[in-house]
Structures are given as structure tokens and as C-alpha cells.
A and B are shown apart, each in its own frame.
Chain A
Amino acid sequence: MSEDMPKKNPLSLQIDLKKFEPATEEEKKQQDVMSKSTTFFRDSMKKLFRNPLAVFSIIVLVLILLVIIFAPMIVPYGYSEMLKFNGTKDKTAMNLAPFTYSVNEQKYMAEHGVKLFPHIFGTDELSRDYFIRVVYGTRVSLAVGFFASLIVLVIGVLYGSISGYCGGRVDLIMMRIVDVIYSLPDMLVIILLSVVLKELLDGSTGIIAKLGTNMVSIFIVFGMLYWVGMARLVRGQILSVKENEYVLAAKSIGTKSSRIVRRHILPNCLSVIIITTALQIPSAIFTESFLSFIGLGVAAPMPSLGSLANNARQGMQSYPYKLMFPALTICLIVLALNLLGDGLRDALDPKLRK
């Protein structure tokens, strides 16, 4: 104890300073120990996996993905292949119920004593295996949803960030263009485009011919019309993020505008962008299914969930399961993606929760 301690008045209620001991070096060090460093991303992933609905959606989506990737390798039927018996079309295999065999197939199995691969979802009116058609339809729908969202993401983020960062007159003009695009009736544009594209793309080969002009026009329409929502969102977010002092600090350092946007502004808008993209996929799948349903989707014989549902309409009363399977698949995918999007939103940006 040092001598320069103030003297204690015996009547005083003051704490006796002699009772205190100086901290040792080790104890001082303990003060500096900080909790384990976690990044924002790791933290939000932890939150996401604590959300049962989000975990459930992830499981569902992973299962669907596994099925659509591996089922065509296992199932011995093709999506456009009519069932054949002895080299000719098996006429008894039309409109089979799930897990049943046609008369010819039953004969074949009885003769050879082998088991044929079951028709899990039955067959359609052209005696094609329905399960594999639903699998391919899901592939098409998911791919359309994914790529359409990607187009929306790229165009929307680029446009929105330029508009938001530049501000002023540039922002004004760019946003008025967005308003104009927003007011175009999308269905009309899709129908017009598919007519025009049919002329332009006729005779082309490769992937475009396989998908059909309607599909290409869907992508073009997404690229032309649907990015406006994303662009508005990104712009709004950037307008608020760029007011932060760290952006000013970067400017005072002499950082170039493009680097400021890339390093400082976009990473802080990322959560909003991820959430919007996750929610954009189901909406794109919905649009694609709807367009296929009204006959503007993929070209036959390529199936998509919407066109399958449309075809099933004709025999709805006799074969209701043919409508059920694609409809249920759409529901499952859209529901899972929406729940995942909600989960991501809660995990990444708790402020957005209503």
C-alpha cells in the first residue's frame, strides 16, 4: 500500500481504500480478452439455421434438386418417349394410374419373370411416363426461375446502383424511365414479343430451338420489364447507405467512385439484394407456369410444370392426379423458396421484419 493514500476519517462511511489491491498484470490482461470474432455472414447463417421453417425449406429444396438431377439417370424412360412394346407403340399404356403397368407390360413381366421400372406417376394420354415428364418440367421451371432472377439481379443492381450513387439529375431521369417501364402491361409485351421472335428465331438450332421462342421471350421480358422492382430497391438502399460517414471517409482518402460502390456501398446492401433475389425466383417460376398454362411457355414436347397442368385440364375429372402432381410441385417449390426468402430476411436484416 502506498503512503499517499488519503487518510480515512473513522466516522466516515467511505469505503476503506486499503481493502483494494492493485490488479496484477494477468488480471489486467483479462480485461482485454474479447469474445470470439464472428463475421456478419456467419452470424446470420447461424440465425437462419435456428429458424425451423427455413431449415425445412432448405431440406425440401435440396430433395427436389437431388430428384431432378438424378431421376433421369435412374428412370429408364425419356420425357418425350412413348412407351413401346415389341417395337410398336404400346396402346394399352395410355393414361395409366400411378404405380400400375399396362396390359402388355404385365404380359411381358409374366413371361420373362422380370420386374419393369414402375410408372410412379402413371402415364399421360400419349403413353409417356408422367414422372419423368414432371421431373423435366420441374427442371425447366426451376431453370427459368433461376436464370430469370439472375437477369433481374444483374440488370437491377447495375441500374439501381448507378442511379442511387450518382443521384441528382441522373437519378431523376433513370427513375422516370423505370416508371415508364413499370407501367407497361407485361402480358401484352410477352405475347407481342413471342410473335416477333417467332419470325426472327425461326430456323435457329441448338438450345433456343429446344426451349422454343416463347421461353426466349420470357427471358427477354424478364430482362426488359421485371428488373425495375430490383432497381428501385437497390437505389433506395444505396441512397440511405451512401449517407454514412464511412463513405465520406473513403472519399476523403481519395477512393474512386467505382471502388466506393464495390467496397463500401454494395456490401452493405447485400442483405436486401439476397432477400429480393430469393423472393424473385418463386415469382419467376409462377410467371413461367402461368405463361405455359395459357400456352405461351416452352415448346412441346419439352414439358414445364405449367404446360403439364394445362394439358391435364382436359382429363381433369377422369385423371385428377395428372393435375395434382405438377400443381403440387409448383406449390412446394414456391412455398419453400418463399419461406427460405423470409428466413433469409429475418436472419440478414431483422429491421425489415414487419
Chain B
Amino acid sequence: MSEEKMLVDVRELKQYFPVRTGWGKVLPLKAVDGVSFTIRHGETLGLVGESGCGKTTVGRTLLRLYKPTGGEFYFDGELVTEKNMPSLRKQMQMVFQDPYSSLNPRMTVEDIIGEPLDVHHLYSNKAERREKILSLMETVGLNAEHATRYAHEFSGGQRQRIGIARALAVNPKFIVCDEPVSALDVSIQAQVVNMFEELQEKLGVAYLFIAHDLLVVRHISHRIAVMYLGRMVELADADEIYDHPMHPYSKSLLSSVPIPDPRIARERRRIVLSGDIPSPLNAPSGCPFRTRCPYGQDDCAECMPELKEVESGHFVACHHMEDAARMKEGVQLR
């Protein structure tokens, strides 16, 4: 990684949740266990992984919706602490997954979008507030006449636009997008994803784009990180990771992407993993993926593999990359 100033610099982020098991016993659920990554100004980092691997937790912990158990988070060179978080909230925002539950049903669109302005006192009078709200609505493609309506009167796509307008209200530099298109149908997904791209060009915001739809992530991301059981297993440029995935987990994940060409799809070999994702309460020792890894060996259980830079800008956490590399031929995507 170069020495240029990163917007987001996360080091060894840890988020454990206490889980009560029986009488007074409390076990830590390691939702995120030592994740490090950086995001440049105006860059999109895609974060993928299967359900329950801690993607959403990473996003929420960055915004201090949870109190992190460990690790450091530098935002624009400044260490984020409990103290300076209230002022930093103006610079980081979040777009939520479910457009149906992320908007208060008792508030008008105007009040929903205006709330960040109210909270941070970003206007001097009523007229200025309204003007700002209307311009935000225009930015995300909503009509001014929608302002006095309630969230339940809108379609999923429009609701998500309201959510995006709310996130943009404070003019943030960084937005965590927590599966913002998963709840939308495909035609609307494209519109919303394209809007995210346009907004990035226009406003220069950086995204942490969390999703499980790998094609959407590839479309929007500059770089992609793959997570498994609270750990990051691979991090590389978007095209690099799709063309040359190195970690066995990434390979299997990417091989599950449907290809809209039957000829290629027929020749392609899918890597189907056996077994279920282990419980994060009771994670395997050493490499967390070893229980399902086709290349798992005895020494995998001994220690956790570090995220190493294998090629320039391509980080992988695996003890036996050479063995895994042989899998390469079978899974190439396009």
C-alpha cells in the first residue's frame, strides 16, 4: 500500500458480541475478528461474503453503531474515538439494506431527509432547510411534490432513493452501503447502482459497498474484499479478483456466479463447498476456512494465516496458495 493519505484506514478491527449460554456463562461471538483495509478518497471497496460472515457488522462498527472490541479506525488521518465521533458523523453516513424498515412510517419524506440537517444544525431558517431538501431530492431523482408524502406511499426503489438522499444530506465523504440493492428487483437495482456511480463522480464520495450479489459488486467496485467468518481472506482490484481469485474460498464464491452464456457455463466447473459455515461462537482453530477447504492440511489448524500481499495490490490469507493456485484453470470467469 502506498503512502498516500487514505480516507478510511481500518486496522485490526474486532467486534465481539457477548452471548449468554446457560447460567452466567458468557462466550464472545467473534463477528469481526481482526479486519484491516483502506479506502481512498472517492473509491469504492466492495465487501462480499456469505450470510453471517460479518460484512454488515464491519459497516455498523465503523459508524459506531456498535462499540468496537478492538482495533483502530483512522478517518482522513484522524483516529476515530468516542469523543470525536459526533462531529465525524457529518462525514460518514450509511445507506441501509431494507428500504421498508429504514424509513420511519410516521414521518414525511421532507422530515426524513431533513433530520440530519436538524441534528447537525445545517440551516439557518426554514426556507433554507426546504431548499436543501428539495435539491437533495432532485439529486436522487425524486420530484418536489413527493416531499410531503409518507414513506409507505413509495415503491422500493424510490424509498431507497429517499434513504440515499438522507445519507447525502450532511455532504459526507464516506458512505457505508449495507446491501443497498438486495431488497430491490433487478431492473430497479440497475438504476440505483448507476445512481451510486453518478453520485460518486459528482460528489467524490467513497463507498464501502456491502453486498452478496457478486455481479453488482464487480460493476460498482474499484477493489473488492472477500470475508469469511469474520476474517478477510482476499483483497484485490475488482477485475483481478474476478479473473484470478487466489483464495480457495473466493474461488468457490466466484464460481457460483451465474454466467449468461450457456456455452461457457457448461464448460465451467463449479466448486461446491461441503458442509456449513461453522458457528462464529466456535470457530475452527487456525485458518477458519480449513474445515471446508478442499486443500486443507494438518498445519492449517496451527495458526491463523496472515493477509499477505501476493501480487501488487492483491492480498490473500492462505497457507497453501500454491496448491490452491492449481484450481485456477477450472474456475475462470469470462
Contact = CB atoms under 8 A, between A and B. Distances in A.
Interface class of chain A by DSSP: helix
Interface string B142-180: 010000111001000000000100100010000000000
A268 B97 contact: no
B149 A254 contact: no
B256 interface: no
A184 interface: no
B107 A252 contact: no
Contact of A34 (B97, B120, B149): B149
Interface string A230-255: 00000000000000111011111111
B94 interface: yes
B86 A254 contact: yes
B93 interface: yes
A37 B150 contact: yes
Contact of B102 (A34, A246, A259, A263): A246
Contacts, number: 69
A254 B94 contact: no
A250 B115 contact: yes
A86 interface: no
Given A37-B148, A37-B149, A245-B97, A268 B106 contact: yes
Interface residues of B, number: 30
Contacts of A37: 148-150, 153
A316 B91 CA distance: 78
B127 interface: no
A263 B116 CA distance: 13
Interface residues of A, number: 24
A32 B149 CA distance: 14
B153 A252 contact: no
A55 B104 CA distance: 31
Interface string B75-108: 0000000000010011001101110011111110
Given A37-B149, A246-B101, A255 B63 contact: no
Contacts of B116: 253-254
A250 B120 CA distance: 12
5 contacts: A40-B150, A245-B97, A245-B101, A246-B103, A263-B104
Given A259-B119, A263-B104, 16 more contacts: A32-B143, A245-B96, A245-B98, A245-B102, A246-B101, A248-B96, A248-B102, A249-B94, A249-B96, A250-B115, A252-B65, A253-B93, A253-B115, A255-B119, A264-B104, A270-B106
